[in-house]
Structure 1
Amino acid sequence: MARHLILSANANPLEGGQGLNLYHMIEGSRGSFEVSVFCRRDCTDVNTHVVPDARFSNLINRTPIIRRLRDWQALISDSHFDRYVSARLTTTDVFQGVTGQCAESIRKAQKLGCGTLLDVVTTHIEDFGEEQRRECIRFGVRPSINRGLRRRIQREYENADLIRVMSKRAQQTFLDRGFTDGRVRVVTPPLEFEEFPEAKFDEPKFRVSFVGLIEPWKGFHYLIEAFNSLNLPDSELILWGGSGSRPANRYLQEQMARNPAIVVRPVEVRSLGYGEVYAKSSVLVHPSLADGFGYVVAEAMASGIPVIVTDKTGAADLIVDGQNGYIVPPRDSEAIRDRLENLANNPGLLREMGRAARETARSLTFEKFRQQYVSCLDALSA
């Protein structure tokens, strides 16, 4: 008898980290479950329920003072999505939702007798929220998570049968708060290895890249501090991504005015091409202060360049310090600078670590992901 899975994610397939994660879940469950999806855009070859925007979303987008309240935008959008899904949820073997977006849907699914899987793409909310709050205070930026959303997420933690996280480091933030490893399962994201051209290290400059959302909790400012203190000739720092906050944008403009070697390129990396971003970089730095995984780290490694990450980044699970990259403490500009200087002055080491990084990324197969993921689904549908 066929088993059924309902996936829900307030995202578009293949857009951003959540969209890529949704795509992996759809593909990973094929052949084991009949899948239906609630999301923001139609999915190819899958029964899809497209969730419309809330009626007042256009008003929010047209009103500057509300548009800047990003925490309330997130809460309103995720709550609307959850209510829509909950009202249309039917009996299934397993219901899976994304953290912050499924508090009502999990309760409804359990009333229907379904197993429930909560997909957590960050660290534990108390860990993530505290790190975010600390950096947002420095910049005078509102955090993206307020008390209302935090309470929703805590209810999801309490009610879900199983919780999926992306890394052992993310899992540890749950274990530290009394959860068991039987209930919090690690399912590491896969990588389409063939999509990533290998770096040749033939660019005229030593290029340091940052890829992702340019916001305080991503730690980009610690990288800028490190780069400014290097004073390396023929070097550049490119930040691939965009910022949604005025203070972060002002900071970036000030830094670029002081140092022309710092460049911001607000592009979508997948659209531009991985070869244009990673394969033309010398090293990727991911100085995040709380990250459940960090797709960009694995993508850079697949492209054959070393990575420098903090021990608050889930993808640090992939790093053997000093062999395929470096792991540094969070908020440590000096540690980042020292590693960058070492790589810039040792081109042989740069290439050697890049080759080792690529071999590590080769192990992130879809089959390994599928086995871990379906094991969670099997436990809920037995």
Structure 2
Amino acid sequence: MKITLTCNTGLGTGGQGVCLANAAVGLSKLADLTVYCSGVEKPQTHFPVNPLGYSRWSKRLLATPVLRRRHDLAVLLSDLRFDHQVSKQLQSQPCDLIMGVAGQTNLSFKTAKAKGAKTWLYCLNNYLPFMQQQIQQEMKSLNDPTVATMNPMMLHRFSGECQQADLIVVLSEVAKQSFVKAGFASEKVAVLTPFVDTNRFRPIPKTDSVFRVLYVGTIEPRKGITYLVDAFLKANIPESELLIVGGTSTRALRIFMEKTLNKHSQIKQEFWDFSSADPTEIFGKSSVLVLPSVEDGFGLVALEAMACGLPVIVTSQCGAADVVDNGVNGFVVPPRDSQTMADKLVYLAENTAKCLEMGKSARNVAEAQTQARYQDNLSKIFKHQGLLN
């Protein structure tokens, strides 16, 4: 069987790229796999990887001062180019199954289906219209009309992909339920939980007494950073620090971060490239990771933090809630509820032994999310779809 996996990102780069790499390794063990991704460098793999470059129009738009705030248009142009390139390749390549990331594969699906191939939509977020609703709600609270959102054409393309898809593959039960609530049949949506490298992400002894709250990720509207800052200030924990690792995606959030950092010395911002840096340097000096997302298909950083022995606080609209046993290895809180988030921070700060115990439980859960378990789940999906005996 010939399988094509497509994603408009670099293999192993960022959360999306890591999920792509997970899928690539799993699929390559079941069939003859070819991967199409963005970029120009070919990673060393035992299966063919074809980087298709970048969209020069997208780059030009982002480099133009008047237009650079149209991030939605830049993403759309990039995805359209990528989809066109993959479709062109598929016209001359054999393909029995294509698994393509949502928003990036509408034309490729049409080409593959014309050749008789099965089509699997790989959705790394919740149901995209639900995601759009959450972003629009944040637009109002941030009072920023330039906030990053999804272009209407992207949503239209996504609708077409869903109609063409024989199966929709998501990262969490949380994400699956967002599709089911939108009217999709439960059997059309399969959950494939990501795994984490527990050798690279591992616990190390914390060397100071600061109760350090950690956030890792792009500071974008759907990630809920404003609620975390509010929760941290409400908690008012002695000898504490909020460490935010990542850059901002919008003007309003950049201004918010500048004002926050200037006003509160115990809130800090750092920038790390975890593709090359040792992640334990950040996770190892932290007490808890908080992922306050108002929408997140999974939030792989939560599982990475758990592998490093940290309890985590995530929202009920974050897919990582699937691996959080409330009160055992972390807490699941309602989205946009900064007071509940603050209460959990205070509890962990005042109960050091319990915090450490929860961190050990978190590590155990991360160790259970192995590549072998991922492979077994993927094989079960193939069997259920009649693609494997």
For Structure 1 versus Structure 2, the TM-score category normalised by the shorter chain is over 0.9
Structure 2 counterpart of 1:131, from 116, 127, 134: 134
TM-score (norm 1): 0.96
- The equivalent of 1:218 in structure 2 is 223
**Structure 2 unaligned regions, length at least 5:** none
Q: Distance in 2 between matches of 1:182 and 1:118?
A: 14
Find the counterpart in structure 1 of residue 153 from structure 2: 148
The alignment covers a number of residue pairs equal to: 380
Aligned partners of 2:276, 2:241: CA distance in 1, in Å? 22
2:261 pairs with 1:256: yes
Q: Kindly indicate whether the alpha-carbon contact (under 8 Å) linking 1:166 and 1:189 is maintained by their aligned counterparts in 2.
A: yes
- Partners of 2:98 and 2:347 lie apart in 1 by 48
User: Which residue matches 2:171?
Assistant: 166
Q: Which has the higher contact order (CA 8 A, sep 6+)?
A: 1
Q: 1:119 aligns with which of 103, 122, 127?
A: 122
Within 1, Cα distance between the matches of 2:382 and 2:68? 38
Residues 162-196 of structure 1, C-alpha deviations (whole Å, 9 max, x = no match): 11000001000111122122210001001111212
Q: Once the 2 structures are TM-superposed, how far is the Cα of residue 154 of structure 1 from its aligned partner?
A: 1.1
Structure 2 contact 100–122 (Cα < 8 Å) conserved: yes
Structure 1 residues 218-258: Cα deviation after superposition (integer angstroms, max 9, x where no partner): 00110101111222221100001111212101101101111
Contact 1:103 1:155 in 2 (8 A): yes
Task: Please report how far the alpha carbon of residue 200 of structure 1 lies from its aligned counterpart in structure 2 after TM superposition.
Answer: 2.6
After superposition, the Cα gap between the structure-2 partners of 1:328 and 1:91, relative to the gap in structure 1 and judged at 3 Å, is: same
Return the match for 2:360 from 337, 355, 364.
Answer: 355
Is 2:316 the partner of 1:311?
yes
The residue number in structure 2 matching 1:206 is 211
1: CA distance between counterparts of 2:331 and 2:59? Answer: 44
Distance change in 2, residues 1:189/1:292 (3 Å): same
Structure 1: gaps spanning 5 or more residues: none
Deviation at residue 270 of structure 1 after TM alignment: 3.8
**Alignment of 1:101 onto 2:99:** no
Hey, what does 1:183 align to over in structure 2? 188
Measured against aligned partners, the alpha-carbon deviations of 1:89-142 in whole angstroms (never above 9, x if no partner) come to 033111110000000101110000001111000000121110111112322043
SS in 1 for 2:199: helix
- 5 Å-filtered alignment, 1:1-382, equals 3-41=1-39, 42-45=42-45, 46-89=47-90, 90-139=93-142, 140=144, 141-378=146-383, 379=385, 381=387
Instruction: Give the whole-Å Cα distance in 2 for the aligned partners of 1:374 and 1:71.
Output: 36
Identity %, equivalent residues: 34
Q: C-alpha distance in 2, partners of 1:234/1:39?
A: 45
**Which secondary structure does the structure 2 equivalent of 1:36 belong to?**
strand
Residue 377 of structure 1, CA deviation? 4.0
Q: In terms of mean alpha carbon deviation, does 123-132 or 371-380 score higher?
A: 371-380
Task: Give the Cα–Cα distance (whole angstroms) in 2 for the partners of residues 151 and 174 of structure 1.
Answer: 16
> Following the alignment from structure 2 to structure 1, what is the Cα–Cα distance between the partners of residues 212 and 352?
13
RMSD: 1.4
Deviation at 1:59, TM superposition (A): 2.3
Q: CA deviation at 1:30?
A: 2.4
Q: Verify the 8 A CA contact 1:241 1:268 in the aligned structure 2.
A: no
Q: Which amino acid aligns with 2:57?
A: F
Q: CA deviation at 1:57?
A: 3.5
Is the CA contact 1:94–1:381 (under 8 Å) kept in the aligned structure 2? no
Partner Cα distance (1:86, 1:197) in 2: 41
Letter in 2 for 1:43: P
Shift of 1:143: 3.1
CA 1:55–1:212: 2 relative to 1, 3 Å? closer
Matched residue type, 1:289? V
Kindly indicate whether the alpha-carbon contact (under 8 Å) linking 1:219 and 1:331 is maintained by their aligned counterparts in 2: yes
Is the alpha carbon distance of 1:257 and 1:220 closer, same or farther for their aligned partners in structure 2, counting shifts above 3 Å? same
TM-score when normalising by structure 2: 0.94
User: Contact 1:93/1:380 (CA < 8 Å) preserved in 2?
Assistant: no
Partner amino acid, structure 1, of 2:7: A
Distance in 2 (alpha carbons) for counterparts of 1:70 and 1:58: 10
- Counterpart-to-counterpart distance in 2, 1:361 and 1:50: 31
CA offset at residue 202 of structure 1? 3.4
Give the Cα–Cα distance (whole angstroms) in 1 for the partners of residues 155 and 192 of structure 2.
Answer: 23
